[in-house]
């Protein structure tokens, strides 16, 4: 028997069918909800990831407190002013990130990353103890150093403490360990972006949008002059990441400011004082734990005795001496 228009005998079967479909959809929804919270998918959770003494959950709070997603994305979510950070730890590694975050206005150089690897804790986290092995394990760091090392960035220098940096590294270590299941989709391109831009805008194009200046004439031997030691020292301080911890004025970052330091009286943790002359500053660079400044923690600054040559140490001392007129903050 077929149901005709206005036939009430068909109303009950239709109603039953609707309830059956509603029950099926509800069952599917409950199943998928339970499935999404099971660990059968081998998904990494924040409680499983640590960096030293710090947890990924602590790093997430720092990431949110500084509103990092106002410029960056994670798994494609956030703003697009800066790059996606989901796999930054896996690509660039902890030493590169530890060199970058305290002084984000400039890209780390190889020397700055090598300085981080002096720390045994960093060696354990990175899984390597030499810069050569590090750049091989983390090709993203090698690429960034080769293309941008020593250049400026669009990111401001944020007032991160060493503790906050450790927590951020824990969080970025976690995001790199996540199974994103292929999201966000990767854009496959041929060739280097800068090469394509040069093809579009001409051979003189630079990533900053300007044009490469014509090559200067090579100076003759007679015209060449030796580099000023203070200028050389300033360049070394930038290359080795010293400016991430020491300001050029008296402002305290991780370590004491260098402005007005040379020739001043420095109070030490044992209650004595010492004049900040060439000998004291030299020892503070190559043996940073020999005399600890009052109010600072030993073991924070790496030992530069194997990283810097004698003439390089002298150049940095000359640079610090040139900051005697930078006492004001």
Over residues 249-256, mean pLDDT: 84
Task: Give the per-residue pLDDT at 278.
Answer: 93
Q: Fold match between 46-177 and 229-321?
A: yes
pLDDT band at residue 213 under the 50/70/90 scheme:
very low
Domain ranges of the chain: 46-177, 229-321
243-277 core/surface letters (b: 16 or more CB in 10 A; e: else): bbbbbbebeebbbbbbbbbbeeebeeeeeeebebe
pLDDT band at residue 120 under the 50/70/90 scheme:
very high
- Whether the pLDDT of residue 226 is over 50: the answer is yes
- Whether the pLDDT of residue 83 is over 80: the answer is yes
Q: Tell which residue, 301, 233, 236, 241, has the closest CA to residue 108.
A: 241
What kind of fold does domain 229-321 have according to CATH?
Cytochrome Bc1 Complex; Chain D, domain 2 (1.10.760)
Model confidence over 301-319: pLDDT tens digits?
888 888 888 999 999 999 9
CATH class of 46-177: mainly alpha
119-149 core/surface letters (b: 16 or more CB in 10 A; e: else): beebbebbebeebeebbeebebbbebbeeeb
Please indicate whether residue 61 or residue 188 has the higher confidence score (pLDDT). Answer: 61
Assess contact for 154 and 209: CB atoms under 8 A: no
What are the beta bridge partners of residue 156? none
């Amino acid at each position: 028997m077929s149901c005709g228009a206005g036939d009430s005998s068909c109303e009950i079967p239709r109603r039953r069918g609707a309830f059956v479909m509603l029950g099926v959809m509800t069952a599917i929804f409950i199943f998928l909800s339970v499935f999404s919270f099971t660990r059968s998918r081998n998904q990494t959770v924040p409680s499983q990831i640590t960096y030293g003494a710090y947890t990924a959950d602590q790093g997430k709070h720092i990431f949110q407190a500084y509103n990092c997603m106002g410029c960056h994305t994670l798994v494609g979510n956030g703003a697009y002013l800066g790059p996606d950070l989901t796999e930054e730890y896996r690509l660039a590694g902890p030493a590169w990130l530890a060199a970058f975050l305290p002084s984000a206005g400039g890209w780390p150089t190889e020397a700055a990353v090598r300085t981080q690897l002096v720390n045994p804790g960093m060696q354990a986290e990175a899984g390597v103890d030499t810069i050569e092995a590090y750049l091989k394990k983390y090709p993203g760091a090698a690429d960034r150093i080769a293309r941008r090392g020593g250049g400026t960035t669009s990111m401001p220098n944020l007032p991160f403490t060493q503790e906050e940096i450790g927590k951020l590294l824990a969080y970025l270590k976690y995001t790199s360990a996540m199974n994103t299941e292929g999201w966000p989709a990767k854009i496959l391109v041929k060739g280097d972006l800068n090469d394509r831009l040069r093809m579009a805008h001409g051979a003189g194009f630079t990533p900053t949008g300007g044009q490469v200046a014509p090559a200067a004439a090579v100076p003759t031997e007679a015209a060449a002059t030796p580099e000023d030691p203070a200028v050389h020292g300033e360049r070394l301080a930038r290359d080795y990441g010293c400016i991430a911890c020491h300001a050029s004025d008296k402002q305290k970052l991780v370590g004491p400011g260098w402005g007005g330091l040379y020739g001043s009286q420095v109070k030490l943790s044992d209650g004595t004082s010492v004049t900040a002359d060439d000998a004291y500053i030299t020892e503070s660079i190559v043996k940073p734990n020999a005399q600890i400044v009052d109010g600072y923690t030993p073991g924070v600054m790496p030992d530069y005795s194997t990283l810097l040559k004698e003439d390089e140490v002298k150049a940095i001392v000359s640079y610090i001496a040139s900051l005697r007129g930078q006492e004001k903050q």
